[in-house]
Amino acid sequence: MLVFSLAACNGNDSTSGDGGDEEVTLNFWAFGATNYEELAKEYEKEHPNVTIKVRSAESAEHHDALFTALSAGSGAPDIAALEVDQLDRFKEAQGRFENLYDLGAKDVQDQYLDWKWEAGANQEGDFLIGLPTDIGPKALYYRTDLFEEAGLPTEPAEVESLINSPEAFKEAGMKLKEETGKPFVDSIEMAYRAYLDASEKTYLNPDGELLLGEEGNDVKKAYDYAVELDEAGIVGKLEMWTPEWANGVNKGEFAAELGAGWLKGWMEGNAPDAVGKWRVATLPTEFAANWGGSYISIPSETDHPQEAYDFVEWLVSPDNQLQSFQSKGLFPSATSVYDMEEFKTNEDEFFGGQVTSTVFAEAAQDIDGAVFKGVKYFPVHQEVLNALHNVQEGGDPEKEWRAAIKRAEELIDR
Amino acid sequence: MSGQERGVKKRYRSEKKKDMISGYLYVAPFFIIFGVIGLYPAIFSVYLAFQKWNGLSPMSFVGLDNFRIVLEDPLFWKSVYNTIIMGLMGTAPQIVVGIVLAFLLNLTFLRFKNFFRITIFMPYITSMVAVALIFSVLFSNHESSLANYMLGVFGFDPVNWSTSEWGTKIAISIMVFWRWVGYNTIIYLAGIQSISNDLYEAATIDGANKFQQLLYITMPLLKPFIILTVFFSTVGALQLFSEPTIFLGAGAFTRDEALTVVMYLYRDAFKLQSFGTASATAIILLVIILFFATINTLITSGNGRKKKGVR
């Protein structure tokens, strides 16, 4: 294929040489740190009749702009990336997107993790909004210097066998706090996400009804566990992405982070003093979960659905996912990548030479079933977080929980 | 003959018409732009207030439901309370300080007048975003932030400027005050300069001191300007949005200590995808603004009437 197209455009770069393909320009909106621009250039070389304009923005801005364009009915791109937590908001407007099953997505389905694929389809399973790009399997990031100081093991294998249940996680945290005086987990949000991200049923059901108030709700379990860790005194107040938190990662102000695969890329770029101090271990199975990741969709405004699809299919192919992983740390969702030599032997200098990719790959395969989030997932999530922050400031857990449910109910009715 | 006359008449009329057309053409750009980006969205928003719409699915008519939802929401009333408190703290002192500053800037013996005038106007032309970002650093929750350090010097405990009930309000009010006081000062200064100097000279001969001059000459004669600034400040204060949003950063729409009415509306539309209730909120806000602007204008214009001594 490559050889053919190279031969085809050899010597005549002005006119298209392969059989009168029409000139096509595709607008592609992406977000965050990706290597899609480089990949698009590569694709253009192979398909001289296709021009791809990649525009990258920050996540919230990207999704809002896309939402506005779809709502206005004009100005949407030919290809758009969608973050998994934002997905349901767009799935509601299924009619504004191409069904990728109609464009040939069935043929590549078996290349990807089942749970990842399912989340990109609708409830009935007959409409696919996006092809899977990266995922965010979670693992335990921990500081070897603090673990050592606390008399805990520092080798990933030993840490895994020591911290093999939620109870053991708490005990290790208490020991560390006692010996070093530092919090084990950075923030109450992380403590809460431990169980939350692993829950299959979270805030809402597919009919948009709130599940929070129900007996035996998984969210309550996650909430109670966070409160329990906080009462044990091992939860810090360093909120993710704040300058204080970044400083904490860098200087070792806390010992452990239940982080996803993409956090590694952030650390390598932003925590220069922490080189060699962090390691990654597999989490207890109760906490095995995915946090984040994306899909690539095709809004139906496009005039070239098939050309757009062909590019997207190529973009998320196993080989290109490996490239995205190597250049930006986007963790692959194509399972065949996990067996590739370059993937398995990818030693991370930042993690003291540990091969972290296999830890995350194992975590990715431990996840079972797609999590349903719902359109109003995010605002409801914020309300529960508010409750937890109030608990940290001395509020009564049960009272705050009930207040959060009440606030969430008001959101749902709008 | 008559034909010629008619022709003349015609030509005369067409001259008039031409004038008319050119007049309309001159004012057209404003009205076209206003129609497209001002009037049409406003009318559409009124229509939306009676619909349930998430921005993508079809709309459905819900009557007055949106208004009920908003008016029954305790968070809405909290946002009204926040807005009024911050409006009072941020704008009321401006009027007093603005007049005093303008008076000082106009004193004959003051040197480097222009330098002071420009300096005082500077905050207003500074980028809103830059101001809010700098303030969020000055008023960070950290013990070492400038604001908390100053409190520490006087022996007070550090304040959580972005999460406490009064800390947020005070920090944002200071920011609003700092940014707008120069604007009002310049308006008052223009007003003061329109006051005839004879009055002050006569007052000086009669033995009135500077403070008395301010109280009995400047203030009453500034009344129309005060009414104007009070009106603008009221409308501006009730529409407070950018300052708190940028100051609070990530927590802007997740906490309620400094949530203003416009932020509440924005959160409805763009965080909760509920454009109907957001539009209803906008209409309720319009009513609130009309109410307060009327009351304030009445108070300020009524105040001068009692002092018939001057004239």
**Structure confidence by residue, pLDDT tens digits, B70-81:** 999 989 999 999
- Chain A residues whose CB is inside 8 A of the B142 CB are 244
Q: Is B173 exposed, middle or buried, given 0-12, 13-18 or 19+ CB atoms closer than 10 A?
A: buried
- Chain B residues whose CB is inside 8 A of the A413 CB are 69
Residue A206: what pLDDT?
Answer: 85
A-chain residue closest to B280, CA distance: A414
Q: Is A378 in Cβ contact with B54 (below 8 Å)?
A: no
- Chain A residues whose CB is inside 8 A of the B273 CB are 89, 375-376
DSSP letter at B51 equals E
CB pairs under 8 A between A and B: 40
Q: pLDDT (tens digit, 9 = 90+) per residue, B9-57?
A: 555 668 888 889 999 999 999 999 999 999 999 999 999 999 999 888 8
Give the number of other CB atoms < 10 A from CB of residue A341.
7
Please say if the pLDDT value at position A366 is more than 70.
yes
Residue B69: what pLDDT?
Answer: 93
SS3 category, B79: helix
| Structural contact between residues B300 and B230, judged by C-beta atoms closer than 8 angstroms | yes
Please say if the pLDDT value at position A101 is more than 90.
yes
Local confidence band at A92 (pLDDT 50, 70, 90 cut-offs): confident
Return d(Cα A251, Cα A273) in angstroms, integer: 7
Q: pLDDT (tens digit, 9 = 90+) per residue, A5-44?
A: 433 443 333 333 444 478 999 999 999 888 999 999 999 9
Q: Is B69 in Cβ contact with A411 (below 8 Å)?
A: no
Residue A6: what pLDDT?
Answer: 39
Q: Is B56 in Cβ contact with A378 (below 8 Å)?
A: no
B-chain residue closest to A414, CA distance: B274
Q: pLDDT (tens digit, 9 = 90+) per residue, A325-358?
A: 988 889 999 999 999 999 999 888 999 999 999 9
What is the overall mean pLDDT for chain A?
90
- The residue whose two tokens read 């809460």 is A192
Which residues of chain B are under the pLDDT cut of 50? 1-3, 304, 308-311
Give pTM, 2 decimals.
Answer: 0.78
Long-range contacts of A64-73 (CB under 8 A, 24+ apart): A64/B270, A65/A29, A66/A29, A66/A90, A66/A299, A67/B55, A67/B56, A69/A299, A70/A96, A70/A299, A70/B56, A71/B55, A71/B56, A73/A301
The gap from C-alpha A65 to its chain's centroid, in whole angstroms, comes to 20
DSSP letter at A333 equals -
| Closest CA of chain A from B146, distance in Å | 16
Q: Is A407 in Cβ contact with B75 (below 8 Å)?
A: yes
A14-44 core/surface letters (b: 16 or more CB in 10 A; e: else): eebbeeeeeebebbbbbbbebbbeebbeebe
Q: What angle do CA B289, B295, B301 make, to 5 degrees?
A: 125
| Structural contact between residues A410 and A393, judged by C-beta atoms closer than 8 angstroms | no
Q: Is A244 in Cβ contact with B56 (below 8 Å)?
A: no
Return d(Cα A380, Cα A333) in angstroms, integer: 28
HSE-CB for A389 with a 13 A CA cutoff:
15
Bridging pattern class, strands B60-61 and B51-52: antiparallel
- Chain A residues whose CB is inside 8 A of the B55 CB are 67, 71
Return d(Cα B267, Cα B75) in angstroms, integer: 12
| Closest CA of chain A from B57, distance in Å | 6
Is the Cβ of A314 closer than 8 Å to some Cβ of chain B? Answer: no
- Chain A residues whose CB is inside 8 A of the B254 CB are 382, 385-386
